[in-house]
């Protein structure tokens, strides 16, 4: 079965016309080609697991050994002849593509210390749910939440902005009022599609200042003039903050509204490809490491809504193919659509 999946997936991907000489699909490849690629990756991973076996060690202890040869057998570094190191396509991309290099810098300077401090955080705060008792706080010895901390570190803050820009423009992230709007990429896309709408983005002061500047500098006036930034402190203890944000929103808008939540919905085991499931579940762990929080499954979202108002229901959940982010449509029972809100 697995070998058939690899054969069929390879034939499907090879059958798609492309400009590159290697098996590499562009983000705008048709959906059927992207699905074939995803199935091929899934089958390849299954082959790896079957051949390796459950007892095979995946990482060797190389303490005290020159680390360079360790990378020669990886696709990130090439050794065309003994003693000579050369770029592979992956390592060349890390050097020449600033988006990749920014994400590499973020992973090595911020995320790696956080991962290494996870056990320390659990030992220091074993039963805490406070957002500033996370592995991030243990790694950088701070009582500040991650966003508050990086806002006080100019170089880190600029790096974070570039990383968010790279993520927002990646194929898996392309997506009226946006809470926690980063730099407002989603609103730009919405403003292009719906030129008659106006948008308000609420975020912390540093993001508001930077976001307004970025939107104005990188977009036509016809787009930028429809996007407004407002300062808004939505940091509260998890998970109460989600209830308060949504509750305050519902109160201020009245009962005749629809709400769209654009966020992660953790899938049930085996309901999506293993390639995507690994990413989504690692995102859940990442939320714990950075914020002492979590990503919710559908039942978790329902619990939040019940805590806000029992009349607020989930009307639909849509996860566009190629995106890790879902759109959750909420509504009051029997409402008349008068306002839209994207949070």
Domain boundaries, the chain: 1-54
Which SS3 state, helix, strand or coil, does residue 58 take? coil
pLDDT, position 128 = 92
Please tell me the predicted confidence (pLDDT) of residue 249: 62
Could you tell me how far CA 184 lies from the centroid of its own chain? Answer: 15
Please list the pLDDT of the chain residue by residue as tens digits (343 residues). Answer: 556 655 665 565 555 555 555 556 666 677 777 777 777 777 777 777 676 666 553 444 444 444 444 444 455 677 778 878 888 777 777 778 888 888 889 999 999 999 999 999 999 999 998 999 999 999 999 999 988 898 788 888 888 878 877 766 655 544 333 434 455 677 888 888 888 888 887 776 767 777 788 788 878 888 888 888 887 655 443 344 555 666 666 665 555 566 788 888 888 888 887 777 888 888 888 899 999 988 888 999 999 888 877 777 888 999 887 777 888 988 765 444 434 444 4
pLDDT value for 76: 64
The strand pairing partners of 259, in sequence order, are: 330, 341
Contact in structure between 204 and 231 (CB atoms under 8 Å): yes
What is residue 229's predicted lDDT score, i.e. its pLDDT? Answer: 84
> Whole-angstrom Cα distance, residue 293 to residue 239?
8
Query: In this predicted structure, what is the pLDDT of residue 124?
Result: 96
pLDDT at 290: 92
Q: Whole-model pTM?
A: 0.65
Tell me the two tokens of residue 136.
Answer: 């991030």
- CA dist 22 to 4, 5, 125, 166, 288, Å? 21, 20, 49, 24, 38
| Residue of 331, 328, 267, 259 whose CA lies nearest to 296 | 267
The conformation of residue 299, written as its DSSP 8-state character, comes to H
Burial of 173 (C-beta count, 10 Å sphere; 0-12/13-18/19+): middle
Quick one: which of 131, 150, 130 has its CA closest to 140?
Answer: 150
pLDDT of residue 109: 93
Please report the pLDDT score of residue 182 as a whole number.
53
pLDDT attached to residue 267: 84
Q: Give the number of residues written for the chain.
A: 343
Q: Measured in whole angstroms, how far is the alpha carbon of residue 50 from the centre of its chain?
A: 29
Give the separation between CA 169 and CA 147, rounded to whole angstroms: 21
Q: What are phi and psi of 276, to 5 degrees?
A: -75, -35
Reference 161, options 221, 234, 103; nearest CA is 103
């Amino acid at each position: 079965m697995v070998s058939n999946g690899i054969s069929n997936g390879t034939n499907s991907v090879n059958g798609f016309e492309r400009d590159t000489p290697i098996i590499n699909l562009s983000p705008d490849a048709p959906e059927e080609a992207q699905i074939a690629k995803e199935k091929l990756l899934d089958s390849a991973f299954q082959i790896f697991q079957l051949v390796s076996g459950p007892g095979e060690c995946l990482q060797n202890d190389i303490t005290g050994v020159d680390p360079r040869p360790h990378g020669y057998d990886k696709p990130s570094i090439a050794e065309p002849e003994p003693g000579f190191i050369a770029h592979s396509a992956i390592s060349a991309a890390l050097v020449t593509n600033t988006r990749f290099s920014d994400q590499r810098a973020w992973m090595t300077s911020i995320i790696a210390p956080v991962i290494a401090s996870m056990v320390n955080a659990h030992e220091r705060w074993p039963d805490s749910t406070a957002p500033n008792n996370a592995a991030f706080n243990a790694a950088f010895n701070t009582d500040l939440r991650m966003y508050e901390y990086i806002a006080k570190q100019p170089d880190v803050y600029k790096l974070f902005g570039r990383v968010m820009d790279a993520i927002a423009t990646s194929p898996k992230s392309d997506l009226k009022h946006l809470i926690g709007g980063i730099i407002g990429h989603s609103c730009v896309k919405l403003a292009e599609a719906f030129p008659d709408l106006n948008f308000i983005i609420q975020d912390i002061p540093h993001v508001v200042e930077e976001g307004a500047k970025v939107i104005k500098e990188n977009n036509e006036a016809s787009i930028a003039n429809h996007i407004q930034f407002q300062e808004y402190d939505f940091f509260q203890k998890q998970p109460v903050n989600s209830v308060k944000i949504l509750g305050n929103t519902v109160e201020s808008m009245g009962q005749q509204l629809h709400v769209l939540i654009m966020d992660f919905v953790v899938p049930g085991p085996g309901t999506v490809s293993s390639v995507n499931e690994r990413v989504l579940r690692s995102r859940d762990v990442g939320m714990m490491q950075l914020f002492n929080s979590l990503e919710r499954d559908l039942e978790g979202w329902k619990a939040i809504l019940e805590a806000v108002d029992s009349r607020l229901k989930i009307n639909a959940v849509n996860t566009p193919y190629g995106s890790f982010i879902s759109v959750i449509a909420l509504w009051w029972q029997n409402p008349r659509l008068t306002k839209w809100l994207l949070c």
